Structure 1
């Protein structure tokens, strides 16, 4: 997994668990103290262990942690990748263009974002199909909510199917409200 995600997890841990949150998270995940560099690649198992540790420390489900992390990391990722987003795009337009943005992100050999199929199904609705062996669909749903919040828009996200319930891929509907 890309080091930027670990940088965001560190910021998340400090925001949710306090100044020593990152150290607590590493200890709970049974990972050695180390610095995750933004443009390096690290084992997916480290991210899974960190999210599991956050779940235990925060007393909530891993799914809730993933959604919260996804929402939390949008402002930081916008600073890095915001240039790929056209001024004036709505949250739905950003989602529709997400795979094209991912193609640009994949130019970094360490980055392996999920594959997304995003299609406008109604004027205010986009269908998202998420496929990734990481099965971090909660992160994507949180990201959609964080993106909407960052763009001062409201959305409703409805999950239609999920790999965690036996589906071959995840599918959710994003509807812009108002």
Structure 2
């Protein structure tokens, strides 16, 4: 949740953040520390209230946050994030290296599950599954990763957990 607070302070101000906290149903009381798991309902409540306050669609707000989150994780997360030559290499190693490192540092952390299957050097299929169903945050994360590596990315979201699928799937093209 520290990332969400920093995101809000970067695009708005403390008054907006405090207003979002006050209007959200938060078991934790709105006090967050890294490495601790919080109720998923809190994430949904905070995101919904923030997007309402900023007058942006929830899907767009989640993507914006995901894009921001990549830079946040790059600066505070596993060292390996900076060592990959491109977003494709990062995706191919996300589960075996990056998420493994996260679990080593924070054993109780809940990480989503990603599988990237390359079709060729610029194209692939990305599969995402998570009990949180934050696929739009995942899209933003990938946009942030591509931007970090000096790439652009086109994503076609052809299967979605919000429509009853077991996982979300995208056709991904990097350039």
Which of 33, 39, 46 is the equivalent residue of 2:35? 39
The aligned residue for residue 3 of structure 1 is none
Equivalent residue runs for 1:74-153 within 5 Å: 74-85=70-81, 87-100=83-96, 101-107=98-104, 108-153=106-151
Aligned residue for 2:76, secondary structure, equals helix
1:164 aligned to which of 156, 162, 165: 162
Distance 2:58 2:132 in 1: 13
CA drift at 1:82:
4.6
Moved more, 92-101 or 81-90: 81-90
Does 2:57 correspond to 1:61? yes
User: C-alpha displacement at 1:68, in angstroms?
Assistant: 0.8
- Residues of 2 paired with 1:91 and 1:81: CA distance? 16
Is the 2:115–2:127 contact (alpha carbons within 8 Å) kept by the matching residues of 1? yes
Q: How far apart in 2 are the matches of 1:151 and 1:109?
A: 29
Partner of residue 12 from structure 1, selected from 7, 27, 37: 7
Greater shift in the superposed pair: 157-166 or 128-137:
157-166
> What is the Cα deviation at residue 154 of structure 1?
1.1
Indicate the residue corresponding to 1:72 in structure 2. Answer: 68
| Structure 1 unmatched ranges of 5 or more | 1-5
Q: 1:88 to 1:97 in 2, by over 3 A?
A: closer
- Name the SS of the counterpart of 1:175 in structure 2: strand
**Length, aligned pairs only:** 172
Residue by residue over 1:41-69, the C-alpha shift from the partner in whole angstroms, topping out at 9 and shown as x without a partner, is: 21111111111111211222221111110
Q: Which runs of 5+ in 2 are unaligned?
A: none
Q: Using a 3 Å threshold, how does the CA distance of structure 1 residues 88 and 114 change in structure 2: closer, same or farther?
A: closer
Q: Distance in 2 between matches of 1:121 and 1:163?
A: 23
